[in-house]
Amino acid sequence: MKNMFLGKQPILDQNQNLVAYELLFRTSTGNEARILDGFHASANVVVNAYGHLGIQQVLGNLRGFINVNHELLLDDAILLLPSKYVVLELLETISATPEVVQRCTELKQMGYQLALDDVTRIDDKIEPLLPIVNVVKIDVLAMTDNEISELIQGLKAWPVIPLAEKVGSPERAKLCMDLGFEMFQGYFFAKPIIISGNKIESGKLSLLRLLSLVMRDAEIGEIEQLLKREPGLSYSLLRMVNSVAVALPQKIGSIRQAIIAMGYRPLKR
């Protein structure tokens, strides 16, 4: 067994009702994270939230904002996330290249909601994405009152929801409310909550064997037998399927059912 950790910070509306969480990479119970690899950090959040802890336990019926870097945005693995429960939060390191704009358009058509992270100005890096995204998260900690006011006025040209993030004082919270922000996040309202659990480790050799079986479209029985010998992989698969397949009439309880419900291509991802 190995401990796993996940942070979630509340996101509130104008009436301070809880409307969503941002899911955060954590490696301990401390409220901080040392992120050396953005793809690994985001993948860790996805696996822990959907594969180990279970999305209902983490989010309830709310949406979860998940940080997405350029690599994850273009990776098919992102399609494992159920569009009903996530907002794909594009990190500030992503530029609005034609490839990125096309990918975001495709994801929007699939039903995903998108957000821009740490916005401090409207420029060529984000402007092509403003007709596509749903939420713009404005880093109010890095801006003056006048800069915030000018930016919120500029965003009125697009159908986006402005979210004030990193709100750390009552004065800044009042300013953002007066300016018409619709969503709020920051230590003034609530610090991240740390969730922990136990993760069953699976051997790398078994994982490679499983991948080999899936890549050659092996019989379901072969895949099922391998998974039965690996409780960690079996547990993750069942949690993932039951998190994603929310529309199914009943909970999936067997490995065979899980393989059939997920299908070969998502299982490869």
**The pLDDT value given to residue 36:** 46
For the chain, domains (ranges, CATH) are 2-195 (3.20.20.450), 201-268 (no CATH)
Structure tokens at 43: 């993948």
**The pLDDT value given to residue 223:** 81
**The pLDDT value given to residue 262:** 77
Mean pLDDT, consecutive 10-residue stretches, the chain (269 aa), reads 75 95 71 54 64 68 91 81 89 94 96 97 95 98 96 96 97 96 96 72 63 76 79 72 61 79 74
Q: What is the DSSP string of 27-94?
A: SSSSS----S-HHHHHHHHHIIIIIII-HHHHHTTSEEEEEE-HHHHHSGGGGGS-TTTEEEEE-TT-
**The pLDDT value given to residue 61:** 85
pTM for the full model? 0.74
Report H helices in the chain. 38-46, 55-59, 70-74, 98-109, 145-154, 170-179, 204-215, 220-228, 231-244, 255-262, 264-268
**The pLDDT value given to residue 160:** 97
